[in-house]
Amino acid sequence: MIQFDFQSLADLAGQRLMLGFNGHTLNTELKHLITEYRAGGIILFRSNIDSADQLRRLCMDARKYALDQGLPDLFVAVDQEGGQVARLRKPFTEFPGNPHMKTLEDAREFARITAAELSGMGINMNMAPVMDVAPPDMDSIMKDRVFKGDANRVSQLGTAVIQGLQKAGVMAVAKHFPGIGRTVKDSHFFLPELDAELSDMKQTDLVPFEAAKQAQVSGIMLSHILYPKLDPDWQASLSKTIAYDLLRQDMGYQGLVMTDDLDMKAISHDMDTCIHRIMTAQIDMVLVCHAGPNITEAREAVMRYLEKDRELFESGHTCVKRILAAKEKFLVRY
């Protein structure tokens, strides 16, 4: 079993952080995130990848360093959907993306090959599959990243990917809950809205996420979209109504829940407000994907709320127990 100090504010805060960094090696910056911030995970981008040998050394060095610091093994995550969102390029297998998956065998082959290549590098979490549903007659922001077809077809192909990745020891993360396929603006730059009734979403957008839950998907990523009929005030990634009431309570999902990148322009609130909302909603992991002051501000805010709010301290234990359970299940392969 993973040993962990549940009374240490630094460790409790750090395990809930998944952070980006600059560089291709276990450099001073990355060591600082692990040693001082006690990060539970790191996320890789193209700027962190130069070659297969370099990537393998980076991942293995970072994970070993965390263990040497007395920490649980690291989540090492990447967005490897195929198509336009694939951080690993040649010599790794380049798949054309979800819209080109026609059969269950296509989905299984993608999952099998991708899992083998990721795990061979020491990567244990894939921020995929996209489980959004995009109407064919709409210029969806996700049209080049979704499985083609209705909610049931998305569910079938998506769960095949989830099962294939996880059978091979790579955690899958379904995104972007509760669904952004019917939006046209990019949350990297804007705050999109989807003004749909919950009853409507249960017939469409939420169907693949229910299927992902049934397939025991390791994680679900929240969108940065505002759903006024669900929560008129807060986007999903900051909404207790969506992240806890809907996903945890109504749908009964017990795996990891994480935000999308808090560096995106759809998030205009200060970091203190974001972290308080996230912790109140019992969202397990906070993603800050780019080096900069937001990482420090996020960590300090988590520490502050753990220290001053007993309820958030207790619910923080629950979140970290879920994180450690996922690590116990998947990261023992390292």
Q: Pick the catalytic residue: 32, 100, 188, 317? A: 188
Q: Is the distance from CB of 180 to CB of 192 less than 8 angstroms?
A: yes
> Is residue 224 among the annotated active site residues?
no
CA distance 142 to 130: 9
CA distance 138 to 215: 29
CA distance 79 to 292: 20
Interstrand relation of 125-126 and 75-78 (parallel, antiparallel or unpaired): parallel
**Across 205-266, where does the E strand assignment appear?**
219-222, 256-261
Q: 140 by DSSP, 3-state: which?
A: coil
> Is residue 245 among the annotated active site residues?
no
**Helical spans, DSSP H, in the chain:** 9-15, 28-35, 52-68, 104-121, 151-167, 198-203, 207-214, 240, 271-280, 293-308, 310-330
Q: Pick the catalytic residue: 106, 132, 260, 284? A: 260
Catalytic residues: 188, 260
